[in-house]
Chain A
Amino acid sequence: MSGAIAMQWSGAGDGAARFESKAATREAPLVKWIIIGVSLTFFAVFLLMPLVAVLVEALRKGWETYLTALLDPDALSAVKLTLIAAVIAVPLNLVFGVAAAWAIAKFEFRGKHFLITLIDLPFSVSPVIAGLIYVLVFGAQGWLGPWLSEHDIRIIFAVPGIVLATVFVTFPFVARELIPLMEAQGKEEEEAAVVLGANGWQTFWHVTLPNIKWGLMYGVILTNARAMGEFGAVSVVSGHIRGETNTLPLHVEILYNEYQFAAAFAVASLLAMLALVTLGLKTWVEHRAAAAHNERQDGTS
């Protein structure tokens, strides 16, 4: 499922000249400009305009309303909860991603492809169902519901449920990024380190990690963006208690449904800026990764 969001190792340079220089591989100027015109119009209408609309709507009633919406105690507690969810979900899935990639990329075992498919599962499950499964396990009517209420532990309609749902929807990102990368790099370097007397940790820390750091960072950026922006899964388990179990996206929904449009867009603009920072970092990491990749190629050839 994640094929489309894997890092593009080769796409950093502009290779268009390769096609534009030869008559056989280029279109008539008219065709070229029609293709550019149509695709950019499509891009502008469907991707660019929503982004611009968020920023314009957020400031429609002026800076004062904008800042009031952001400094509202409920908004601040939503920021806090969003950060908590991300701070827990990202490291958990980071450790998992590294462990899974180590086992899958460095060793041969039966059922490997099936395991990769299972790791991909959360991508193909609707976010609403991601929330539902935890309600079925931990909810009042769920498997562990009676035991949990006996011990006065709340998971659903409370922070732990939100964290769990966030962990689920961001589950495969790091693993999906690292598995193909570590498979491509092989295991000779690590084996050399072990043969020379390094232990497992030293090998990972000094040999593997420097090789995978850009892929790792890429996975973390994607995980973090999704963790902070998740709506459907979190909405199911949250219970929408203002100031307690609302994340930023849920706070946007509440404000919007109360017809506080300017405030809703003000909070949404925070998330939109997060998205832009994510895309900026992502592009930067792609460039660094491509550079490191080329260096590696030069070094080995």
Chain B
Amino acid sequence: MNAPARSFRVLPGFRLTLGYTLAYLSLIVLVPLAAVFLKTFTLTFDQFWAVVTAPRVVASYKLSFGMSLLAAAINAVFGLMLAWALVRYTFPGKKLIDALVDLPFALPTAVAGIALTALYAKNGWIGQLLEPLGIQVAFKPLGVLVALVFIGLPFVVRTVQPILEDLDTELEEAAASLGAQRWQIFRHVILPVLLPALLTGFALAFARAVGEYGSVIFIAGNIPMVSEITPLMIITKLEQYDYTGATAIAVVMLMFSFTLLLVINGLQAWTAKRTGRNR
């Protein structure tokens, strides 16, 4: 920003574009987000604490965070396998499957929600297979898990896939020539390189799952204390015109999201360092 630096600036438009960026960012994102924090200051700390630790709200944290963690873990395992298959093997329909992995990004969440509900209801294609086994998915906490697995899968596949593609085969060949078994090579040579990306994908899927609303509410059944997710608690408070209550829960979620955002930034920096690639 100092004078000598400016004289080297050949390209025009710095002030205009940065000014516009900051103004637009403030107007659309920063000022409205600040409203959430300012609104909570109308509560005393005891009032705030009473809202965010009410039993029904605490039950929703347990469900939202527990199921999101579980869904992200499932996606980490199967997402890695899918990415591995897409990068390392040839099989019919591979290109089509590769394109369809992004479906959860493209399919509106409400559509995913009603489709999953139809599949897992008692008379649905999958539901009627699970019914005799005594497993109920739709309108149970398990339904929340299914929806969160659906929306999280591409995050893991798309963060791991490029790293797998760039992997040098030389290390694996060296390990093999030294007598390592295939599993040992995976465990000690490939996995350490993949780990930062895998964790990033896990964290992205987790972050998305915690805030997810549309695909979950149809299949969850939304039974208080049992299958209510935290975003639904905000909606419920809003419908009762309890704006301060809704805002207090939103603040808890935002604090969590921002922390996770920092963790993800750190993980991405680690990935870049491990693999020498930008993001």
Binding site for B on A (CB under 8 A): 1, 3-6, 8, 10-11, 14-20, 22-28, 31-32, 35-36, 38-40, 42-43, 45-51, 53-54, 57, 96, 99-100, 102-104, 106-110, 115, 117-122, 124-129, 132-137, 139, 141-143, 164, 167-168, 171, 180, 184, 187, 190-191, 194-195, 199-200, 203-204, 222, 225, 228-232, 235-236, 248-250, 252-253, 256, 261, 264-265, 268, 271-272, 274-276, 278-280, 282-283
Report chain B residues within 8 Å CB of A252: 108, 110-111, 114
A103 touches B118 (CB 8 A): no
Q: Is the interface of A mostly helix, strand, loop or mixed?
A: helix
Known contacts A107-B14, A133-B33, then 17 further A-B pairs from the complex at CB < 8 Å, ordered by chain A residue: A19-B87, A23-B176, A24-B185, A28-B182, A32-B89, A54-B115, A96-B21, A103-B14, A103-B21, A117-B261, A118-B30, A127-B211, A132-B238, A195-B10, A256-B114, A271-B107, A271-B108
A27 touches B182 (CB 8 A): yes
B211 touches A128 (CB 8 A): yes
A128: contacting residue among B18, B31, B108, B234, CB under 8 A: B234
Query: How far, in whole Å, are A225 and B111 apart by their CA atoms in the complex?
Result: 13
B165 touches A203 (CB 8 A): no
A18 touches B265 (CB 8 A): no
Q: List 18 A-B contacts (CB under 8 A).
A: A1-B204, A1-B264, A3-B204, A3-B264, A11-B165, A26-B88, A31-B182, A40-B97, A50-B116, A100-B17, A102-B17, A127-B213, A127-B214, A128-B250, A142-B35, A180-B279, A194-B11, A200-B12
Q: Give the number of chain B interface residues (Cβ < 8 Å).
A: 112
- Asked if B91 is at the interface of the complex by the 8 Å CB criterion, the answer is yes
A231 touches B213 (CB 8 A): yes
B213 touches A128 (CB 8 A): yes
Report chain B residues within 8 Å CB of A143: 35
B85 touches A35 (CB 8 A): yes
Select from chain B the residue with minimum beta-carbon distance to A270. B111
A229 touches B11 (CB 8 A): no
Query: How far, in whole Å, are A193 and B185 apart by their CA atoms in the complex?
Result: 51
Select from chain B the residue with minimum beta-carbon distance to A176. B279
B88 touches A249 (CB 8 A): no
Query: How far, in whole Å, are A89 and B136 apart by their CA atoms in the complex?
Result: 40
Report chain B residues within 8 Å CB of A139: 243
- Asked if B268 is at the interface of the complex by the 8 Å CB criterion, the answer is yes
Report the minimal beta-carbon distance from A16 to chain B, rounded to whole angstroms.
Answer: 5
B108 touches A231 (CB 8 A): yes
Report if A3-B114 is in contact (Cβ < 8 Å); known contacts: A99-B21, A103-B17, A232-B231: no
B78 touches A38 (CB 8 A): yes
Query: How far, in whole Å, are A276 and B6 apart by their CA atoms in the complex?
Result: 48
A126 touches B25 (CB 8 A): no
- Asked if B3 is at the interface of the complex by the 8 Å CB criterion, the answer is no
A132 touches B36 (CB 8 A): yes
Report chain B residues within 8 Å CB of A235: 213-214, 235
B89 touches A129 (CB 8 A): no
Query: How far, in whole Å, are A74 and B130 apart by their CA atoms in the complex?
Result: 37
Report the minimal beta-carbon distance from B146 to chain A, rounded to whole angstroms.
Answer: 8
Query: How far, in whole Å, are A200 and B15 apart by their CA atoms in the complex?
Result: 13
Report if A268-B115 is in contact (Cβ < 8 Å); known contacts: A99-B20, A231-B108, A275-B103: yes
- Asked if B162 is at the interface of the complex by the 8 Å CB criterion, the answer is yes
A24 touches B172 (CB 8 A): yes
B111 touches A54 (CB 8 A): yes
